[in-house]
Structure 1
Amino acid sequence: MKTVLNLVLAACVICLVYICYGSIMGPINFDNAKKTREKAIIARLIDIRKAQQEYRTVHNGAYTANFDSLITFVKTAKLPFIMKVGSLTDDQLNNGMTEKKAMDLINKAKKTGNWSEVEKEGLQNFRRDTMWVAVMDTIFAKGFNPDSLAYVPYGNGAKFEMAIRQDTTKSGAPLNLFQAQVAYDVYLGDLNSQELINLKDMQSKLGKYCGLRVGDIEQPNNNAGNWE
């Protein structure tokens, strides 16, 4: 009887140790997994932001809500890059010379073959040449896969939600906003359910989005991420 009682007590002790260990390590393991996953997701959201910012430069300030359009843009589009040689001196600037005026004189000389005005203004070594470079070579590291933009790391094939807003301000100026986001449930749903509930409850009480988001279609925020 005494042996049985000792065995029962030992089992109870083991259970208590296990429960205590779980109560301590559960939040720690959840937080570590959350940090690892969010690091990859934030990097992807930053890539989306970079692509959208370049997209708008060649689409009259407008963003796209369609990942297919954004990915095609990244794969095929080219952006202007101005190669600068020389600079205007203080004297030239004080005399009213601007880069536009300088290039107008140089372009005129190229057409007419008369370089006297260029020489008179001291612009012989001044150049501004526009080169067109691929988006892929401009804003992303070598080996970047644009097809990955839409997909949430650790999301089991889930895609980011993306939306845009085209509006006007009170002054009548055009207003173009975008946001891309993913909810906690998508990339943390397979972890400790109680810790996930606690996280979502805390974010809701603070009035914050329960997940990661870049940009905002409700108000301009300079395309900031909610982790920044």
Structure 2
Amino acid sequence: MKTVINCVLVICALALVYICYGSIMGPINFDKQKDIREKAIIARLIDIRKAQQEYRSVHEGAYTASFDTLIHFVKTAKLPFIMKIGSLTDDQLNNGMTEQKAMDLINKAKKTNNWTEVEKAGLQNFRRDTMWVAVMDTIFEKGFNPDSLQFVPYGNGAKFEMAIRKDTTQSGAPLNLFQAQVAYDVYLSDLNRQELINLKDVQEKLGKYCGLRVGDIEQPNNNAGNWE
């Protein structure tokens, strides 16, 4: 009988140790996996932001809510790149010379083959040449796959939610906003359920989005991420 009681006590002690270990390691393991996954997701959201900003630069300030459109843009679009040689001196600037005026003089000289005004203005070594560079070669690292933009890392094929807003400010100026986001449930649902519930509860009480988001269609935030 005494042996049975001792065995039961040992089993209870082991169970207690296991429960204590789980209560300590559960939150630690959850946070570790959360950090790993969110680093990958944040990197993807930053890529989306870069693509949207370049898209906006050649579409009159407007963003796109379509990943198909954004991906096609990244694959095919070219952006202007100005190669600058020489700079205006303080004397030239004080005399009212600007880069636009300088280029007007140079372009005029090219058409007429008369470089007198250019030489008189001291612009012989001043050049501004526009080159067109592929988006893929400008803002992304070599080997980047544009098709990956829409997919959430660790999301088992899930896609980011993306939305835009076209509006005007009180002064009548155009207002273009975008946001891309993914909820905790999409990339953390296979981890400790209670820790996920606790995380969401804290965010909700703080009035924050339960997930990762870049940009905001409710108010301008300079396309910041909610992790920044």
TM-score of the aligned structures, taking structure 2 as reference length: 1.00
CA distance in 1, matches of 2:105, 2:63: 36
Per-residue deviation, 1:2: 1.1
Aligned to 2:46: 46
CA distance in 2, matches of 1:146, 1:13: 55
CA distance in 2, matches of 1:22, 1:100: 68
Q: Where does structure 2 lack aligned partners over 5 or more consecutive residues?
A: none
CA distance in 1, matches of 2:58, 2:94: 34
CA distance in 1, matches of 2:200, 2:99: 54
Aligned to 1:193: 193
Aligned to 1:13: 13
CA distance in 2, matches of 1:198, 1:96: 63
CA distance in 1, matches of 2:4, 2:149: 61
> What are the within-5 Å matches in structure 2 for residues 82-161 of structure 1?
82-161=82-161
Indicate yes or no: 2:150 matched with 1:175: no
CA distance in 2, matches of 1:194, 1:95: 70
Per-residue deviation, 1:13: 0.6
Aligned to 1:165: 165
1:174-225 superposed Cα distances (whole Å, 9 cap, x missing partner): 0000000000000000000000000000000000000000000000000000
Per-residue deviation, 1:61: 0.3
| Helix, strand or coil at the partner of 1:49 | helix
| Helix, strand or coil at the partner of 1:166 | strand
| Helix, strand or coil at the partner of 1:218 | coil
CA distance in 2, matches of 1:39, 1:27: 18
Amino acid at match of 1:98: T
* Cα RMSD, aligned residues only: 0.3
| Helix, strand or coil at the partner of 2:63 | coil
1:11-51 superposed Cα distances (whole Å, 9 cap, x missing partner): 10110000000000000000000000000000000000000
CA distance in 1, matches of 2:54, 2:198: 38
| Helix, strand or coil at the partner of 1:149 | helix
| Helix, strand or coil at the partner of 1:182 | strand
Indicate yes or no: 2:34 matched with 1:37: no
Per-residue deviation, 1:3: 1.1
CA distance in 2, matches of 1:140, 1:185: 29
CA distance in 1, matches of 2:195, 2:80: 48
CA distance in 1, matches of 2:227, 2:116: 57
